Amino acid sequence: MSSSERNFLSINGSEIAINGERNLLELIRKAGIEIPTFCYHSELSIYGACRLCLVDIEGRGLQASCSIKPEPGMKIKTATEEIREIRKISVELLLANHKVECPTCPKSSSCKLEELGRKLGVTEVRFKKTNIDYPKDYSSDSLIRDPNKCVLCGDCVRYCREIQGIGAIDFAHRGKNTIVSPAFGKDLGKVECVNCGQCAAVCPVGAITVKPEVDQVFKALDNSEKVVVAQIAPAVRVALGEQFGMNSGDIVTGKITAALKRMGFAKVFDTSFSADLTVIEEGTEFLNRYTKGEKLPQFTSCCPGWVKFAEQYYPEILPRLSSCKSPQQMFGSLAREILPAMLGVKPENLVIVSIMPCTAKKFEARRPEFTHDKIRDIDHVLTTQELSRMIEASGLRFDELEPESLDLPLGFKTGAGVIFGASGGVTEAVLRFAVEKVTGKKLENVDFHAVRGEAGLREATFNLDGKEVRVAMVHGLKNARRVAEEVKVGKCRYDIIEVMACPGGCVGGAGQPVNFAPEVVKRRAKGLYEADKMLQLHKAQENPYIIETYEKILGEVGGQKAHHLLHTKYQSRRRITEKGMPLITGEGTDKLSIKICVGTNCYLKGSQNILKALTKDIEDQGLTETVDIQATFCFEKCGEAPNVMVGDQLISKCTIEKARVALNAELQKKAAETSATSS
């Protein structure tokens, strides 16, 4: 029986079975033959742009293996002289259109163009270099875009559109002028990018890279007046080892601590501590909502990429987001409250550095609501990749370091805080708290396996003391859009929805060591669950230092002091790319924000009069240091014009009287909060 009559084909003379592979490229790789490619990722659509994956199919000639389905009886050659020469020429052409800065490029150790040039034996570029020189884009808090290094593979474009459902960047122009660009040639920081950084992760060259803060951190460490402390996110401990030849999923918390202290960090803490704090606050918030049947489903708010996505596309669901700050920002707020006295340092000389798997955390740390008295709660955010570079720059042999212990009290955690780094981990940690809280009985089996998994959208149902609680776990913002649309139209059947922007959760963050093998993210998540098992405590409410923090500092769970330090507000960013036209504004970030739409409908219905009247009131009452008033647009409620936002309250069909009442109410509320905090 011939191979065409069986489910086999021939690759370089060997018979290979066809077993459901979607294209020849996958089948050839399964046979142990590596085919080079720039534009192929198994989770993205097939694009076929780079032409590096050419194979010779008998009777058909040269074909791109990524776009051909396997068929029984095919005879394929993968590395003929013609194919090798075409691949070599393709790489030379890419290099001719690529700004070569290999020694100084952030991607130099993981650049696919550099790797392919070496593997294919490219020793010279025989083609004329292009002379187009585009400016670098530094506008984003999280990323740097260098169009001169782009090879037009389209990976970033497809990931942003197909996995995240955003499309913040796309191809522009034609022919030799083709580039990848944000809409209308704008800067990346002025379009609807959510800073997830997955475009930088899939970029095979240095066209989009993580915005570094290594130099600023070294400068702080070298300043004798500064006391520098660090917090380590859960997902970092199961990924950093990959940069030093260790296995993905290996837990290297102790080695990270040792490395940081050798570099000069005064104290090293654990973001898992503030994740435990998040469990208590977010779990209590959910139970209060669930009991009252209000503002459900409750979305998690740990992921800054997801929060910005919701602010941009679904501002109407913002009241359903938990008001809890992320664990990173909770840590910063609490550390600012207690560490200056504990370490004997002036508040302005305390430098707090976060080490995160996530690029969006850089943006989050710079949100104005997380700055007080001109001091940011978090000074600098380093990704896992940046930390590895710091370790190398310091000359430390990471694999030889003896592990050291994290510092107390902010370094003590339970397993609930550790599993935050995997998709489903936040939900499981909250369930470990909520079940005990509602039933009043000790939870013996803390594992909720139903919330774990790899699918982009998973759901589960639990019995909570006779009542049904429905939960959903989402990763990838395109999946989040599906759920948000259901909530928007009132068809949602969930009570809690956990959203993570990155694949697999924080373990798949864009700041982690780049690796596209699906099993790598799985092993990182497995490492977090193993870390949970190795700890003696698995529930946030059991953390003795969390209990002490409430007794000595925060007071009642969800109380005034806890709410002031650990909770925040969100703002609509829909169709507003910049701050708008400020009438009265300044440096203060605790100011009450008033935004008045001056779009056509609102303007015609009197918003300009409201703007003038409120501006005069604020000036007459001496409130210019307390209130920030801006003319802006659009709140997407043109049929209910004029629209005015006072704090987080949107007033449609607003009048001057309604605006004044809302302004006075918010001022009284802020005065009461300030009084409670100071007392």
Gap between the Cα atoms of 623 and 193, Å rounded: 34
Residues found in the chain: 679
> What values do phi and psi take at 329, rounded to 5?
-75, -30
Two structure tokens written together for 262: 């050798």
Give the count of beta carbons closer than 10 Å to the beta carbon of residue 204.
23
Instruction: Report which of 238, 327, 266 is spatially closest to residue 546, judged by C-alpha positions.
Output: 327
By C-alpha distance, which of 526, 503, 532, 327 is closest to 423?
503
Distance CA 520, CA 509 (A): 12
Q: How far is CA 140 from the centre of its chain?
A: 14
Burial of 10 (0-12, 13-18, 19+ CB in 10 A): middle
Catalytic one of 369, 392, 404, 619: 369
Candidate list 149, 255, 361, 595, residue with the active-site label? 361
Residue 532's nearest CA partner among 130, 251, 138 is 251
Q: Are 417 and 540 in contact (CB under 8 A)?
A: yes
Look at the block and give the residue holding tokens 């409120």: 614
Query: In this structure, what are the phi and psi dihedrals at residue 111, rounded to the nearest 5 degrees?
Result: -80, 125
Specify the 3-state DSSP secondary structure of 540.
helix
* CA 330/CA 334 separation, integer angstroms: 6
Separation of first and last alpha carbons in the chain: 88
Question: Contact 174/208 with Cβ under 8 angstroms?
Answer: no
Q: Is the dihedral of CA 439, 443, 445, 450 positive or negative?
A: positive
* Of 315, 510, 327, nearest in space to 430 by CA: 327
* Integer Rg of the chain from CA: 27
Q: Could you tell me if 88 and 120 are in contact, meaning their C-beta atoms sit under 8 angstroms apart?
A: yes
Question: Whose CA is closest to 277, among 329, 338, 343?
Answer: 329
What pairs with residue 342 in β-bridges?
Answer: none
285 is catalytic: yes
The catalytic position among 322, 326, 388, 593 is 322
Concerning whether 364 is annotated as a catalytic residue, the answer is yes
Active site residue 369: yes
- Please name which of 60, 51, 533, 574 lies closest in space to residue 310, comparing C-alpha atoms: 574
Of 114, 285, 428, 666, which one is the catalytic site residue?
Answer: 285
Beta strands in 127-226 (DSSP E): 143-145, 169-172, 179-182, 208-210
Q: Which of 302, 303, 324, 654 is catalytic?
A: 302
Catalytic residue among 192, 364, 542, 666: 364
* Known catalytic membership, residue 657: no
Where in the sequence numbering do the catalytic residues fall?
282, 285, 302, 322, 361, 364, 369, 506
